[in-house]
Structures are given as C-alpha cells and as structure tokens.
Structure 1
C-alpha cells in the first residue's frame, strides 16, 4: 500500500472506532507509539504491535461513554502523514476528557512504523 492508501484507510477505520483493526492491518510488528507525556496508566513510549494493541484495549476498558469521535482527513507526504483526532469521552472514574490530538505517522515498506501524538 502507498502512504496515501494507508493514511486514508487508517482514517476510515478510526472514524468507525475500529482502532485495533487499524493496528492489526496497517502497523508493522516493531511499531513504536509515543504519547505526549507519561501518565499513571500509560508509558511515554510503547514498542511492538502486541504492546500497542494492549495499550488500546486498556484505554477502551477505562472509557465509560464515547460522546464524540472525529478524525480529520489526512495530510500526506512521501513517507509520513498526520491527522487530528477529537475525542469527547467520560471515563469510568467519571473524569471527562474533551481533547484534540495531532496524530503523526511514519510509513516504511507499506506499514506504519511509528505513531506520535501531540496535544
């Protein structure tokens, strides 16, 4: 797949909330995920597809209600792309998160090899 095809497919799946499907289909086995900062629940950097899938499952277990999920169209370069993701969620601990992140991705050999989130 080209970078443009990967970007569009990722956005398509994320808009449906199918994050794990996107990861299994589009991410390399040795992918790296970088969060804007470490928290009690998540490390700053997660390495490897199985660990990233587990991170996503952990986040889903923490969510009580997803009020809104919006993903922008991607901006695509040769081997990278970015989009914004807006989530409005109520967590099981009753915290309310209304946040927009810039999501940046690097592509190599037809797979996403890194993702990094900025707030």
Structure 2
C-alpha cells in the first residue's frame, strides 16, 4: 500500500469513528503514539500496538456519546501525512464539546509507525 492509500484509509476509518479497526489494519506492532500532554490515566507516550489498543479502549470507555467526527483531506510529504480531526462528543462527567487536533503520522514498510497529536 502506498502512503496515499494508507492516509485515505485512515481518514475514512476516522470519519466512520472506527478507531480500533484503523489500529488493527494500518499500524505496525511497534508503533508509537504521542499525545500533546499527559492527562490522568493516560501516558503522554504509548509504545506498541497492544498498548495503543488498550489506550483506545480506555478512551472509548470515557465517552458518553459521539455526535460526529470530521476529517480534512490528508496532506502528504515524503513518508509522513497529516490531517485535522474534529470530534463532537460528550465525555462522562463533562459538557458536550468539540475537540480539534492536528494528527501527524509517519509510515514505514506500509504501516503507520508513529502518530502525534497537536491541539
């Protein structure tokens, strides 16, 4: 798969809120995820696909309701791509909010090896 194909597939998974499926289909076993900051119950950096799947499960358990996700068209440069992701959601114990982040990915050997989020 080319980087363009990976970027398009990931954006499509995200638009459908199929985050677990995206991890399983597109990420390398040794992938790394870097958050903009550390928050309670979550590390700033998560290493390895299994740990990332666990983080996804923990995050999903905190979501009370989802009201839509939008994703910009991916921008590609070399072995990296990015897009803007906006999630309209209500987290347990919080008001409904729209979270917007820039998501940056690096690809090697036809798999995503790193993701980093900026808010």
Q: Tell whether the structures are fold-level matches, with TM greater than 0.5.
A: yes
The two structures, once aligned, show a CA RMSD in angstroms of 0.9
State whether structure 2 residue 79 is matched by structure 1 residue 91.
Answer: no
Q: Could you tell me how far apart the structure 2 residues matched to 1:115 and 1:106 are?
A: 7
Q: How many residues align?
A: 119
What is the match of residue 15 of structure 2?
15
Structure 2 runs not aligned, ≥5 long: none
Q: Could you tell me how far apart the structure 2 residues matched to 1:83 and 1:2 are?
A: 17
Secondary structure of 1:105 counterpart: strand
What is the match of residue 42 of structure 1?
42
Secondary structure of 1:42 counterpart: coil
Secondary structure of 1:87 counterpart: strand
Q: Could you tell me how far apart the structure 2 residues matched to 1:41 and 1:6 are?
A: 30
State whether structure 2 residue 104 is matched by structure 1 residue 104.
Answer: yes
State the Cα distance separating 1:68 from its structure 2 match.
2.3
Structure 1 runs not aligned, ≥5 long: none
Q: Could you tell me how far apart the structure 2 residues matched to 1:90 and 1:8 are?
A: 27
State the Cα distance separating 1:88 from its structure 2 match.
1.5
Secondary structure of 2:93 counterpart: coil
Q: Could you tell me how far apart the structure 2 residues matched to 1:66 and 1:82 are?
A: 23
Secondary structure of 1:93 counterpart: coil
Secondary structure of 1:94 counterpart: coil
What is the match of residue 115 of structure 2?
115
State the Cα distance separating 1:5 from its structure 2 match.
0.5
